[in-house]
Homo-oligomer: A and B are copies of this chain.
Amino acid sequence: MWCVTPAERSGLHAYEVVLKHIEAGILAGTHRPGDQLPPERDLAVQLAVSRSAVREAMRVLQTQGLITSSTGPGRGTRIAPARGDALARIFQLHLALSDAGTDDLTETRVALERSSAALAARRTNARSLRKLRALVAGMEEVEPVDEFNDLDTAFHVQIARTGQSELIADLTVAIRQAVREAIRTASASLPDWPQHRAELLHEHQQILSAIEAGDSAAAANLVEQHIRRAYSTLGIAGPAEARDQD
């Protein structure tokens, strides 16, 4: 099967011909996770490119988490299941280079986490509630900025996972990772970290209660207020705009 027409080939680097061929198969659904790709030499012959062009294309696909390679009998190169961490890494690099200001990041985080929290309140179960409670209990115990921040991140990620929307969870993780360093630095230089920590803890407890109660509207509103209040205290976002979804 040819996924790239001769007209499309002109102007492309050889490795891009290979890349577009594989990508077209993924987008069309003919390449599914677990499917084995032809050996390097066969692909080179099939697409009339050099083996090094095939190898370069495989590097690209591998870095994007779209294929996995392993050696040994019956292994080879296969289409990978989608991996949130590969997407998160690329997302983070883009954020580092983008003009997306903290306001933009804040609005995106609020949009995604309102939804996560609302879904979590609807779809929670005993196991995920135990995890959320353990994280809040952990935050009650620890004082230092870095340890507290790690539990804070884990709490927000666990809410997203509880909501059972993998896509929202992956995006939440990516954005939370992208702002992690900024939050850490700002937290460390607060004049009154114990006060900020106490507010964060109280907010997390309230969010947990709303999720436990299955009150999705309250969970969404509390998460939004929490994110905006924290960013404003940390000075890493402009003044909060009117909260029209409350």
- List the interface of chain A (C-beta within 8 A of B): 13, 15-16, 19, 23, 26-27, 29, 32-33, 52, 55-57, 59-60, 63-66, 79-83, 86-87, 90-100, 103-105, 107-108, 110-112, 114-115, 118-119, 122, 163-168, 171, 216-217, 220, 241-242, 244-245
Roughly how many angstroms separate A93 CA and B59 CA in the complex, as a whole number?
A: 16
Query: How far is it, in angstroms, between the C-alpha of A98 and the C-alpha of B171 when the chains are bound?
Result: 13
Q: Closest residue to A121 on the B side, CB-wise? A: B244
In the complex, what residues of B have CB within 8 A of residue A65's CB?
Answer: 94
Smallest Cβ-Cβ distance to A27: which chain B residue: B96
| Cβ contact within 8 Å between A26 and B93 | yes
Partner of A96, one of B15, B26, B87, B107: B26
Contact B100 A166 (CB under 8 A): yes
Which residues from B are CB-within-8-Å of A29? 96
Contacting residue for A87 out of B57, B81, B91, CB 8 A:
B91
Say what secondary structure dominates the interface of chain A: helix
**Nearest neighbor of A218 in chain B, beta-carbon distance:** B244
For A244, the chain B residues whose CB sits under 8 A away are 118, 216-217, 220
A112: chain B residues at CB < 8 Å are 108, 111-112
Minimal beta-carbon separation of A12 from chain B (angstroms):
12
CA distance in complex: A23, B95 (Å): 12
What are some 30 contacts across the A-B interface (CB < 8 A)?
A: A13-B59, A19-B63, A23-B93, A27-B92, A29-B96, A52-B52, A55-B56, A59-B59, A63-B64, A66-B93, A66-B94, A81-B99, A82-B100, A87-B91, A95-B167, A98-B166, A98-B167, A104-B165, A104-B166, A104-B167, A105-B167, A107-B119, A107-B163, A107-B167, A107-B168, A110-B115, A112-B112, A114-B245, A171-B171, A216-B242
Is the Cβ of A97 less than 8 Å from the Cβ of B111?
A: no
Query: Which residues of B have CB within 8 Å of A165?
Result: 100, 103-104, 107-108
Closest to A106 in B: B165
Question: A115 CB to closest chain B CB, in angstroms?
Answer: 3
Q: Shortest distance in angstroms between A52's beta carbon and chain B's nearest beta carbon?
A: 7
What separation, in Å, do the CA atoms of A56 and B213 have in the docked complex?
A: 52
